[in-house]
Amino acid sequence: MSTRTREWLLALLVMAVAGALWILPLTLRPQHVPFWPGAGFSDLLISHWPNAVWIQQSIAEWGQIPLWNPNILSGIPFAADPLSGLWYLPNWLAVAFPGAIAFNALFWLHLTWAGLGAWALAREEGLSKWGAVLAGIVFGGAPKFVAHIALGHVGLVSAVSWTPWVLLLTAKTLRQIRTGQSWLKWSALTGAVLGIVFRADPRWSIPLIGFAAAYGARNTLRERQTEWKNLRRIVLAGVVAGAFAAAIAACLGLPLWEFLRLSTRSGISANERAIFSLPLEGLLGTISILDGTPEWLAYFGASVLVISALSMFNRDRRPWFWIGVSFFSTILALGPATPFYHLISVIPGADVLRVPARFLFVSALGWAFLAGYGLDTLVSNKDEIKTRGVKIWLFATTSLILAVNIAIGIIGGVNSIRQFGPMIAAILVFALISIFIADRISLQRIIPLILGVIVVDLLWVNAGLLQPKSTEEILSDRSGLTSFLQSDHGTSRVFSPSYSVPQPQAVLNGVELADGVNPLQLSAYRHYMETAVGLDAGAYDVTLPSFPDGNPSTPWGFQAEGVALGRLNVEWIASDYPLEDDSLTSFESIDGVYLYRLEGSRTRSWMEIGSSENDLGWQPITITQWTPNWIRLEAAGPGVLVLSEVAYPGWRVLVDGEPSTLITVDGLFRAVELVPGEHEVIFQFYPTTLIVGIAISGVGLLLLLYLWFRR
């Protein structure tokens, strides 16, 4: 085994062990679901777990990979939904074994991957093996990662973990260009990995492209003797990388583009895009642990800040790029509070991004490298850092950390015990550096001691960010209600004004919801629900209905319009609070939830005989066969056969085996006009954007393989 291979394997082992430590509460209880302390909801349970279960159910029961999701919002395109998990290969681990342990394994694998990538990039940058190990530990163990694990952000954590790998491939591509070797395949691979990031979470691909471009520009400018032919190759390499990124991402990108155009997300305002911007006072969170939303978590480790202070005095490699990265990305996290943020809106696709505070992930990588540079300075430039100026700088950094933490503890509102962690960690690292400078401890001892303090510092914080909850406890919630509402797909729907039927329990029991939580919602559906339930469709929201104060159990003014809601095939209304409406008949209370039957609910399909506004002008039609991607009925004309399913591009209809014209009724429902006689009608979902996207991705993959394995 070569020395290089051993180094990689050892780094992998270190990052794997560290990854297990960063999520220690889940490592000890792998069958528990991560939650932010005190939180009642998690995106893992709301979206990712139900979607994995849905894929498994569809394959097992109908032999289909589902392209349509009927489980929420009366149906949305599944293959176009970034939260579906269809297009990111590691997610299929959760499809094969849908449960907490599979998702926790995914989190661990991606933290390991993030740390290993930071280590590899640091070695590429020329850091020593110890500096690179520290960079990997700090990035993989960034509390920002663990906070989003607590929120259940599976896709975002996966996408961000690829960040150092994209930079590494960018550096390798530029090196191949300088040597005149096979740069084409490296640029293609860089683009392909960007495409993978898009598949994991499209939102992260935009910041990452900007980050990679800045990193590539820095590496190019650092080579002062770059020739004109190399500049031309660099531009061409960028074009190649962009083309391969677009190709690999196309299977999701094209359907998503179509979905976005028809969704409420396409019209979000500047204020809605700036939600969860880091407040100015949140900048103190880089030094201390503040209370507040996990999106604002900016703590990178007090011990990390102390060792990073030495990076300024690195004689061999000035870390100005990483200082700029840490500073500028933190400024961007402030959102509209800084003029720089508005510059992002000119980037294609950036107008649908939200939560500027996620730029702190870039800051985390910047601080990881500054820590690595700082440790290298300590190891290789010991004589230079014995100067008085360096000692004052270290003392000032440590004093600032102590002062801020003491002040926050005195002011209150923060768990004062938790503040001891950053203070003690900062003091210990400062003391260790001081002892080493005074020649009272050897190099062989100082490195593991500093690494140990930093690991404990990050572990102290990360362990407090996770509150595991047992799977049994979660799935038993409202189990009696969902068991009662259990039905076959295509028979009836349930609407809850208070999220009383949790989405994972609904999917497990085959309960289709007319409400739901998803960042992408069809504008036509939200406008229809404005009439059907009194919904305010004016503002963007990830939930339908919206919860003005964030609490689903607070009444918001639900008003059922019996005919409109009935045409959605809604049979039951489930509410955490009592409802008074003439169109509702009180049934009983199950699991503390008030259950009502909607009078005048229609079947899933019907034939319009007279006026569509006259309940006497329709007759029920039975669905003879239902699957996620196609529905079969038998009906007698003349009339308009209406399916209580959301119309969407890609749905086609066959009448007696021949293509027919699909029409839309009430601006929402799929329908087809039938001539007299008995007919077999089949609705199929095969969107053109999906077919073209898969073809482009397939060609891109074949070209990539050809470039890498050709002789």
Quickly count: other Cβ atoms within 10 Å of residue 615's Cβ. 14
Domain spanning 605-691, CATH architecture:
Sandwich (2.60)
Model confidence at 526: pLDDT above 50: yes
Angstrom CA distances, 215 to 4, 209, 211, 320, stand at 25, 10, 6, 12
Q: Provide the pairing of β-strand 469-470 with 76-77.
A: unpaired
Average pLDDT, integer, range 263-290? 82
Q: What residues contact residue 320 under an 8 Å CB cut-off, 6+ apart?
A: none
State pLDDT tens for residues 529-573: 999 998 887 778 899 999 888 889 999 889 988 899 999 999 999
Q: Is the peptide bond before 638 cis (omega within 30 degrees of 0)?
A: yes
Crossing angle for the helix pair 443-463 and 143-150, to the nearest 10 degrees? 20
* pLDDT at residue 636, as a whole number: 92
What span, in angstroms and rounded, lies between the C-alpha atoms of 157 and 149? 7
Model confidence at 163: pLDDT above 60: yes
* pLDDT at residue 443, as a whole number: 80
* pLDDT at residue 20, as a whole number: 97
Nearest to 251 by CA among 684, 685, 648, 698: 698
* pLDDT at residue 612, as a whole number: 46
Task: Round the average pLDDT of the chain to a whole number and report it.
Answer: 90
Segment among 385-394, 450-459, 612-621 with least mean pLDDT: 612-621
Q: Provide the pairing of β-strand 570-575 with 493-495.
A: parallel
Let me know how long the chain is.
711
**676, amino acid identity:** P
State pLDDT tens for residues 173-208: 999 998 877 899 999 999 999 999 999 999 999 999
Q: Residue 522 is encoded by which pair of tokens?
A: 């069809």
Q: How confident is the model at residue 215 (pLDDT cuts 50, 70, 90)?
A: very high
**Domain residue limits, the chain:** 3-161+263-463, 477-598, 605-691
Average pLDDT, integer, range 499-512? 92
State pLDDT tens for residues 348-377: 666 667 788 999 999 999 999 999 999 998
Report, in angstroms and rounded to the nearest whole number, the Rg of the chain calculated over CA atoms.
28
State pLDDT tens for residues 586-595: 998 999 999 9
Segment among 61-65, 139-143, 257-261, 531-535 with least mean pLDDT: 531-535
Average pLDDT, integer, range 51-64? 96
* pLDDT at residue 125, as a whole number: 92
Position with higher pLDDT, 614 vs 391: 391
* pLDDT at residue 431, as a whole number: 92
Q: How confident is the model at residue 3 (pLDDT cuts 50, 70, 90)?
A: confident
Model confidence at 441: pLDDT above 70: yes
- Nearest 5°: the CA angle 294, 300, 306 is 155
Nearest to 576 by CA among 497, 513, 509, 515: 497
Instruction: Enter the pTM of the model.
Output: 0.94
What span, in angstroms and rounded, lies between the C-alpha atoms of 156 and 154? 6
Dihedral, 73, 77, 78, 82 alpha carbons, nearest 10? -100
Q: How confident is the model at residue 316 (pLDDT cuts 50, 70, 90)?
A: low
Quickly count: other Cβ atoms within 10 Å of residue 93's Cβ. 17
